[in-house]
Amino acid sequence: MSGHNRWSTIKHKKAAADAKKSKSWTKLIKEITVAARSGGGDATGNPRLRSAIDKGRAANVPTDTIDRAIKKGTGELGADSVEELIYQAYGPGGVAIVIEIATDNRNRTASELRKLLERQNAKIDPSGSVLHKFKKRGQIIFDGEKVTEDAVTEIALEAGADDVRAEGDTIVVLTEPGACHGIKEIFEKKGLTPLEAEVGMLPELTVEISERDAEQIGKLVSALEEHDDVMNVYTNHEEAAP
């Protein structure tokens, strides 16, 4: 989370994480399975599944593996034992953390995550207050060195996006969750290909924390993202200006 800003760091964070994730297809296959289970196996009517399939293909997951994951999710290949969970936690500096999980063993995953959190001075929030600090949004991310903010904004307005934000070397288009994939396709038809397009939990407000706490949060997020059952991690922190 270099720079500790949720917009300008997305590209860099993903570049580092994707190298690890692409080595193991476990998470990608899980996401395809749970997306098919929650919204059906027809990708044309299931934006989440379309996004999961796109990520799988980008990581060179074989087509037959993707097809099996979809059929597992829809029940065609037997019952799917993977369940989705959301863990809410508070970390150093009062940072709110949302952890999205897909697991076939809830107790094992819970035990492992508690240990990860404790090592970095974080703990599960039993009150459920963390989720209220975030909102589910679609975000389409462009490389600011390859496209201009004006070009992105013009298409975003035409496509019905909610907002455009330029932060650091990225330009982020915000959308309603259900509109994200359709708006991404409009950009692609206009010749603007995003770095990433996904639906995630974005903080309504960020909290400023010290450099020391930010370093600890960074270590925690990295450790969580390396866990096979953790699909996504979201925080609401921003490092205070020096």
Residues 125 and 217 in one domain: yes
Per-residue pLDDT at 13 exceeds 70: no
Residues 99 and 145 in one domain: no
Percent of the chain with pLDDT over 70: 88
Give start and end residues of each alpha helix (H) in the chain: 10-23, 26-39, 47-58, 63-74, 106-119, 149-159, 180-189, 211-226
Range of the domain at 22: 2-74
Q: What is the pLDDT of residue 241?
A: 55
Residues 30 and 117 in one domain: no
- Categorize the per-residue pLDDT at 50 as very low, low, confident or very high, splitting at 50, 70 and 90: confident
Question: Which value, in Å, is the radius of gyration of the alpha carbons in the chain?
Answer: 18
Per-residue pLDDT at 109 exceeds 90: yes
Residues 28 and 63 in one domain: yes
Give the number of domains in the chain: 3
pLDDT single digits (tens) 136-171? 999 999 999 999 999 999 999 999 999 999 888 899
Q: What is the pLDDT of residue 18?
A: 53
Residues 210 and 195 in one domain: no
Residues 48 and 87 in one domain: no
Residues 193 and 169 in one domain: yes
Residues 143 and 179 in one domain: yes
Partners of 103 in the β-ladder: 83
Give the pTM.
Answer: 0.81
Residues 125 and 212 in one domain: yes
Residues 187 and 226 in one domain: no
Q: What is the pLDDT of residue 16?
A: 47
Q: Residue 117 is part of a domain; what is its CATH number? A: 3.30.70.980
Q: What is the residue-wise DSSP string for 155-192?
A: HHHHHT-SEEEEETTEEEEEE-GGGHHHHHHHHHHTT-
162, HSE (Cβ side, Cα atoms, 13 Å)? 13
CA 107 to chain centroid, in Å, comes to 23
Residues 111 and 221 in one domain: yes
